[in-house]
Amino acid sequence: MRYLTAGESHGKQLTTIVEGIPALMPLTKENINESLLRRQKGHGRGKRMQIEKDLVELAGGVRHGYTLGSPIAMVIHNDDFKHWEDIMGEDPFPEDQKIRRTVTRPRPGHADLNGAMKYGHRDIRNVLERSSARETAARVAAGAVAKTLLAQLDIKIIGYVREIAGIIAEENMEMPIQERMEISEASPVRSLDADAGQKMMDAIDQAKKEGDSIGGVVEVYIEGMPAGIGSYVHYDQKLDGRIAGSVASINAFKGVEFGIGFEAARKNGSQVHDEIAWDKEKGYYRKTNRLGGFEGGMTTGMPIVVKGVMKPIPTLYKPLQSVDIETKEPFSASIERSDSCAVPAAAVVMEHVVAFELAKSLLEQFPHDQFPKLKEALDSYREEIRSF
Ligand code: EPS
């Protein structure tokens, strides 16, 4: 199972192709649109999200509400393209005319300078259009297909915000996943803690007023993954490793933690590892879940708890020093439009990129071309490990 995305931020459309989803799996555009809509929300989003109404067009791989086993092609149109047709059009540009909005001033913290040097672009727009976090809409579409598969295998997944600008949401380890889903969905910052949520919103408003941006920590929580998914045998099949890689690949993400994460460095082994217990009903389980659902590159059957760190968006109204690539003169970078905080949206993005890795590992372990057979195989594996 793999996916590819294409498309520029102010181009015509974003395109996603997902390959490897078995045939005969119920899938509708509503499954995907629900995820796209969630990604668009959140206190701190800028004006662009008022222009866009992200809706998917299923352009291949689905017929009459079921997957065909062929690649699933998805299109999200950029409504903003109508303002950018002359700038972003695919046809050769008339030589006697000047292209509007060329960019020669790389923004600190962005892909701008490194990307321009790599591809030899003198117009940095050729870099920023693709490195823009607009692309995460296409990744969410791929993850929404994966999430639909997981849901039908009784695996639930939710992403929410743990921290914004140093304001930390209180943690209730015992909170059931359904509650996590409902509370975060109702919060404009996707916080499970209402008091912290209000403070986060205040911090976002303050940052916006000051022309600054702020980052945070998001958490993805998963229930229903059986034990033993992933690998201790091959480094590239370790599921925690794959999740870490995919999370670090989200725009502006700088770090990943499982369970107590970096805190493990400061504790003794006896305070880190989770004791094993057995119960007639549920079989093996861990008395605690400090390792966040992973041991040896494989799931333990406990909830998976993974955090991702997002840096503040580097597009600032508050200027930072940089150098113009044409004149080599220093300048103060300033911009016209940005989100002051996209951490709530990033929680949705991370939920979806993690969902993709889970579905991919399941399909590698239980390779079936037909979805009902995958379901059957997983059910029988679940039974097998319960009585192990
Ligand atoms: C982004 C800049 C803003 C964001 C955009 C990511 O867009 P614009 O340059 O059009 O104002 O709104 O995010 C999205 C469009 C999105 O769908 O999330 C950037 O520079 O990364």
155-207 pLDDT, tens digit each:
999 999 999 999 999 999 899 999 999 999 999 999 999 999 999 999 999 99
Atom 20, ligand 1: residue with shortest CA distance: 132
Neighbour-count burial for 92-113, b at 16+ CB within 10 Å, e otherwise: eeeeeeeeeeebbbbbebbbbb
Percent of the residues in the chain that have a pLDDT greater than 90, as a whole number:
92
How far away, in angstroms, is 12 Cα from ligand 1 center?
15
* Residue 337, ligand 1, Cβ within 6 A: yes
- Whose CA is closest to 216, among 341, 42, 53? 341
pLDDT digits (tens, 9 = 90+) for 223-246: 999 999 999 999 999 999 999 999
Task: Please tell me the distance from the alpha carbon of residue 285 to that of residue 274, in angstroms, as a whole number.
Answer: 9
Q: Provide the token pair at 20.
A: 């490897």
3-state SS class at 277: strand
Q: From the CB of 9, is ligand 1 less than 6 Å away?
A: yes
3-state secondary structure 54-109: CCEEEEECEECCEECCCCEEEEEECHHHHHCHHHHCCCCCCCCCCCCCCCCCCCCC
| Closest residue CA from atom 19 of ligand 1 | 132
Mean pLDDT across 19-28: 98
**What's the mean per-residue pLDDT of the chain?**
96
Amino acid at 371: F
Using CA atoms, how far apart are residues 104 and 113, in angstroms rounded to an integer? 9
What pLDDT, in 10s, does the model give residues 319-375? Answer: 789 999 999 999 987 676 778 999 999 999 999 999 999 999 999 999 999 999 999
Whole-angstrom distance, CA of residue 298 vs CA of residue 203 = 38
For ligand 1, whether the C-beta of 46 sits within 6 Å is yes
Give the pLDDT score at 316: 79
5 CB under 6 A from ligand 1?
A: no
Residue 72 confidence (pLDDT): 98
Query: What pLDDT shows up at residue 336?
Result: 64
H-type alpha helices, the chain: 29-40, 48-51, 85-88, 112-119, 125-131, 136-151, 177-186, 194-209, 239-248, 343-365, 371-386
Of all protein residues, the one whose alpha carbon is nearest to atom 21 of ligand 1 is: 132
The atom number, within ligand 1, closest to the CA of 80 reads 10
Q: Is the CB of 318 inside a 6 Å radius of any atom of ligand 1?
A: no
| Amino acid found at 38 | R
Give the residue whose CA is nearest to atom 8 of ligand 1: 48
299 annotated as a binding-site residue: no
**Pocket of ligand 1 contains residue 109 by CB under 6 Å:** no
Is residue 41 part of an annotated ligand binding site? no
The confidence score (pLDDT) of residue 87 equals 96
17 annotated to a ligand binding site: no
CB atoms inside a 10 Å sphere around CB 148: 22
pLDDT one-digit tens code per residue, 252-289: 999 999 999 999 999 999 999 999 999 998 899 999 99
- CB of 133 shorter than 6 A to ligand 1: yes
Q: What pTM was computed for the model? A: 0.97
Q: Judge if the beta carbon of residue 365 lies within 6 A of ligand 1.
A: no
Residue 181: the pLDDT is 98
Token pair 């509370």 is at which residue?
Answer: 183
Q: CATH number for the domain including 205? A: 3.60.150.10
Q: Is residue 311 part of an annotated ligand binding site?
A: yes
Q: Give distance in angstroms: CA of 221 to centre of ligand 1.
A: 26
312 is in an annotated binding site: yes
Number of domain units in the chain: 1
Decide: 118 in ligand 1 pocket, CB within 6 A.
Answer: no
Q: What's the pLDDT at 27?
A: 98
Q: Closest Cα to residue 223, out of 262, 174, 185, 172?
A: 174
By alpha-carbon position, which residue is closest to atom 7 of ligand 1?
48
Residue of 350, 77, 38 whose CA lies nearest to 219: 350
What percent of the chain clears pLDDT 70, i.e. is strictly above it?
A: 99
Residue 10 Cα to ligand 1 midpoint, Å, equals: 9
In order of 14, 165, 172, 186, the CA distances from 91 in angstroms are 18, 44, 55, 45
Contacts of 341 (CB under 8 A, 6+ apart): 42, 43, 44, 164, 165, 204, 207, 213, 214, 215, 216, 312, 313
Q: Is 31 annotated as a binding residue?
A: no
**Spacing, Cα 338 to ligand 1 middle (Å):** 7
Query: Is 131 annotated as belonging to a binding site?
Result: yes
- List the domain range (segments joined by +) for residue 128: 2-386
Q: How far is the CA of 129 from the centre of ligand 1 (A)?
A: 9
Q: Which helix (H) or strand (E) holds 324?
A: none
Q: How far is CA 384 from the centre of its chain?
A: 33
Averaged over 76-87, what is the pLDDT? 96
Answer yes or no: is the C-beta of 126 below 6 A from any ligand 1 atom.
no
Note the pLDDT of residue 110.
94
Evaluate if residue 64 carries a pLDDT over 70. yes
Cα diameter, the chain: 79
Which ipTM score applies to this complex? Answer: 0.90
Structure tokens given for 119: 């591809």
Q: Is the CB of 131 under 6 A from ligand 1?
A: no
